[in-house]
Amino acid sequence: MAEIGRWNGHAFVVSPDVIRGFTGLTIKGSSETEDKTKDKQKYVTRKNSKPAEVSITVNLNRMLNVDVRTEAITLVQEALAGETDYFYVGSKKLLDCKLMLTEAQVKETTITTGDTWLKADIQLTMKQADKYGSLGSGDGGGGGRRKKKKKSKKTGDKKNKKPDIYFADHTELTKLVNNNTASSAQRDISNITGMAKRTSEKMMQNTKKVAGKDNRNGG
């Protein structure tokens, strides 16, 4: 089941079992202004923002497995009660504020005998019902301002947290600490290589001396 949108428990979906959609999505934002005059020129200044408005037309059809009358009357009752909720398009909030259903107008109805509603279009008008949060959040829509998080200062000696190099084959080369820069790291590697080479040469010399002494004793 593909969910197109959702508001206050009303799911607008397209599936093999039911089709309940909407058309004509309109989003309106505006500001309240004040007229000014300066140097014989008129202009306006902003006083406050007006509540954002969203409007859609819900398309209901009995042939698409929808109870047209029940759903139409329910939306009218929710407009009378001023029901509020977030409006989702897909899985994201359309606006990061709750929207109040302020008007539901049923039109283009087709009714047969026995009070059977075949189809109807319901024009819905919703208005901003609380303050905006952060537009464009993980599950919201749009793009607003976000407060930057302050980085916490970490205590302790940073040098103690730097990675160490261990030389396993030579006990006298136990541990060398890297510096942050690449050139320092290269110097460390060069030092390790040089120390390892000198240690190996020293071990070879000692081995030769011992071997020569054994040969003389054996002779």
Looking at the fold, whether 165 and 122 belong to one and the same domain comes out as no
My answer on whether 115 and 51 are in the same domain is yes
Interval 25-51: pLDDT, tens? 999 999 999 999 999 899 999 999 999
One domain for residues 98 and 22 = yes
Task: Indicate if 26 and 111 belong to the same structural domain.
Answer: yes
Co-location of 75 and 166 in the same domain: no
**Same domain, yes or no, for 169 and 103?**
no
Do 105 and 168 fall into the same domain?
A: no
Q: Which of 128, 150, 175 is the last residue of a domain?
A: 128
pLDDT, one tens digit per residue, over 109-153 is 999 988 899 999 999 999 999 988 744 343 433 333 344 445 555
Task: Assess whether 96 and 10 both reside in one domain.
Answer: yes
Does residue 37 lie in a domain region?
Answer: no
What is the reported pLDDT for 196?
58
State both tokens at 204: 């070879």
Q: Are residues 81 and 177 in the same domain?
A: no
Q: Report percent pLDDT > 70 for the chain.
A: 60
Total tally of structural domains belonging to the chain: 2
Query: What is the pTM (predicted TM-score) of this model?
Result: 0.58
Domain coverage including residue 166: 158-218
With respect to residue 120, please indicate whether it lies within any of the assigned structural domains. yes
Average pLDDT value for the chain? 76
Question: Quick check: is 134 in a domain?
Answer: no
d(CA 63, CA 1): 18
Tokens of 37: 């005059």
> Same domain for 72 and 172?
no
Reported as a pLDDT band with limits 50, 70 and 90, residue 17 is confident
Query: Average pLDDT for residues 196-213, to the nearest whole number?
Result: 61
Based on the fold, state whether residues 14 and 89 are members of the same structural domain: yes
**In this structure, what is the dihedral angle of CA atoms 179, 185, 188, 194, given to the nearest 10 degrees?**
-170
Q: Is the per-residue pLDDT at 74 higher than 70? A: yes
